[in-house]
Amino acid sequence: MNQINNLNRREFLKLLSLLTITTAGMPLFEILPDQPAQKVDDGKQRPNILLLLFDTLSAAHLSFFGYPRETTPHLARFAERAVVYHRHYSAGNYTVPATASLLTGTYPWSHRGLHFYGTTREEYLSRNLFSGLGRYYHTSAFTHNAFVMGLLDQFSQHVDQIIPAKDLAILSQPAAEDLFPADFSMSFWGERIIRASGSDWPGSLFLSFIGKDFDPFTPEELRERYGQLYPRGLPNNTLGLFFLLEDAIDWIIRHVMEQPRPFFSYIHLFPPHEPYMTRRDYVDIFNDGWEPQPKPVLAFPQDKTQEDLNESRRHYDEYLAFVDAEFGRLYDSLEAAGVLDNTILIITSDHGQLFERRIHGHVTSTLYDPLIHIPLMISKPGQKERQDIHEPTSIVDLLPTLFHIAGVESPDWSEGTVLPGFGPSQADAQRSVYVVEAKNNPKLAPLEKGTFSMIKGRYKLIRYFGYPGKEDDYEFYDLENDPEERENLASQRSRQMPELKDELITRLNEINREYGA
């Protein structure tokens, strides 16, 4: 560890810059945080805003949406005093594109946070939730997810307080956050690449302490301490950060009470993202023998058997039940303290998870509903009754909605609309919402390989393009009659599919023209 402490910052960042240049999709920037702008007091009374995001929470697994296992009784209890969006969609199928869309109000084809280590285009450094609300709100953010931390690092000049993940961790193995906190993105991504590669570069001052990539296995000292409470291992973010969800919930309760008013807090918790390390009292609660019916395998299968998928699904459901119980504890504390009388509480996710079609997880080029259909529930201050919205909505709608609530002028660059239930406009059943998977494209270039999805009314179109064997392939579903997406109607004659296909292709061509295509 003495070598770490004696590192030369210039040498470290110079080497990481070289790594960045030679790595496809990696960003190259160094953001030095500015002082947040002076708050404006215009005499308006604004509600506090608490945006709580549970990573990888699929709407398909919520019991109050019809899932056969009782996974989310506490979220169901909260829903009874919230606006509930039944057809809310992410804009991506993994963290970076989806979270960047939430924070900027734009689709991935605009903000260009397309890759696992991705960041947005520079103009979005001042086009995001924090920059818009920061004039009037005390802004704060926390995440267990290192990929999200890269985005928060980008937007940090407009965030009054970013709580380091290690502050709520039992063990934090990555060195970047301690070494160069002002250069988190560059130093963390470089450290991650080196760990993943397992490279041995003689003569380096720091590579000797970096060995293999992090793994989710609980270190022996933590297993000895927490093994009885967490028999499957301690919750972690797969990148060397080990934590207790209970600690995070306790911190949120304190954090909300201590924030200057009005506040906007973005809190992005890692569970129920894999690994599914649930607490002892939730282990095997769904060992019930239930097995969903297999679905057709049409695109990009992995080597998973149905037995593998059923076991992973069961472990996810058990972890989700634990997450739901901890949310219930938070909800009760906020309600008892009267916080919800003047606070908007938002519960959502960045993307979902797949346990079907021989695919487990979300690192895939498919865009089936369990991956992109996410929960959204918003409780207005003092709300006592439930309101249900069944028209399609998108993750890009949160930014214009929160701007509207805060009395901030709606930006012309946002691709979202104010959510029904919060603005003067009515829900649009025929509105088109989009999902983009384009991690195989360069950041600032035409989109020539990827998967796009478009949902309009009851219909959903999926387009695969640029893949070997799937240069221009489609799936088409009637979600009203086939919500499980079992019957691909692309080969049948229908009036609706050509209309959706033309609209989607036209939109993609418009996007690509900006990059010279």
Length of the chain: 517
Q: Which amino acid is at 474?
A: Y
Distance CA 511, CA 416 (A): 16
Task: Tell me if 498 sits within 8 A of 463, measured CB to CB.
Answer: no
pLDDT digits (tens, 9 = 90+) for 396-432: 999 999 999 999 998 999 999 999 999 887 778 899 9
Residue indicated by tokens 């606070």: 343
CA 401/CA 428 separation, integer angstroms: 15
| Ranges of each domain in the chain | 1-30+176-205, 46-173+214-431
Q: Report the relative pairing of strands 359-361 and 241-243 from DSSP bridges.
A: unpaired
Q: How far is CA 171 from CA 49, 237, 303, 346, in A?
A: 30, 11, 33, 29
How far separated are the first and last CA of the chain, in Å rounded? 50
Residue by residue, DSSP assigns 430-496 as T-EEEEEE-TTS-TTS---SEEEEEEETTEEEEEEEEETTEEEEEEEEETTT-TT-----TTS--SH
Instruction: Render the burial of 447-468: b for 16+ CB within 10 Å, e for the rest.
Output: bebbbbbbbbbbbbbbbbbebe
CA 19 to chain centre: 26
Contact 47/405 with Cβ under 8 angstroms?
Answer: yes
Residue 472 gets the label, from left (phi > 0), alpha (psi -120 to 50) or beta, of beta
CA 300 – CA 328 distance, rounded (Å)? 37
Q: What is the pLDDT along the chain (517 residues), one digit of tens a residue?
A: 333 334 444 444 444 443 333 333 333 333 334 444 578 888 789 999 999 999 999 999 999 999 999 999 999 999 999 999 999 999 999 999 999 999 999 999 999 999 988 999 999 999 999 999 999 999 999 999 999 999 999 999 999 999 999 999 999 987 666 655 555 565 666 655 555 544 443 344 343 333 344 557 889 999 999 999 999 999 999 989 999 999 999 999 999 999 999 999 999 999 999 999 999 999 999 999 999 999 999 999 999 999 999 999 999 999 999 999 999 999 999 999 999 999 999 999 999 999 999 999 999 999 999 999 999 999 999 999 999 999 999 999 999 999 999 999 989 999 999 999 998 877 788 999 999 999 999 999 999 999 999 999 999 999 999 999 999 999 999 999 999 999 999 999 888 999 999 999 999 999 999 998 7
Query: Strands 263-269 and 48-54: what pairing?
Result: parallel
104-152 residue pLDDT tens: 999 999 999 999 889 999 999 999 999 999 999 999 999 999 999 999 9
As a whole number of angstroms, the distance between CA 234 and CA 131 comes to 36
Scored b (16 or more CB within 10 A) or e, 240-252 reads bbbbbbeebbbeb
Radius of gyration of the chain measured on its C-alpha atoms: 22
DSSP letters of 28-39? ---PPPPPPPPP
Please name which of 134, 123, 153, 131 lies closest in space to residue 33, comparing C-alpha atoms: 153
How far apart CA 36 and CA 161 sit, in angstroms, is: 9
- Fold for 46-173+214-431, please state it: Alkaline Phosphatase, subunit A (3.40.720)
Q: How many CB atoms lie within 10 A of CB 138?
A: 19
- Report the DSSP pairing between strands 376-379 and 83-85: antiparallel
- CA atoms within 13 Å, Cβ hemisphere of 373: 21
Instruction: Classify 111 as helix, strand or coil.
Output: helix
Does the bond joining 275 to the residue before it have cis omega, within 30 degrees of 0? yes
The position carrying tokens 């930006």 is 411
d(CA 141, CA 136): 16
How far is the C-alpha of 428 from the C-alpha of 507, rounded, in Å? Answer: 19
- DSSP structural state of residue 238: S
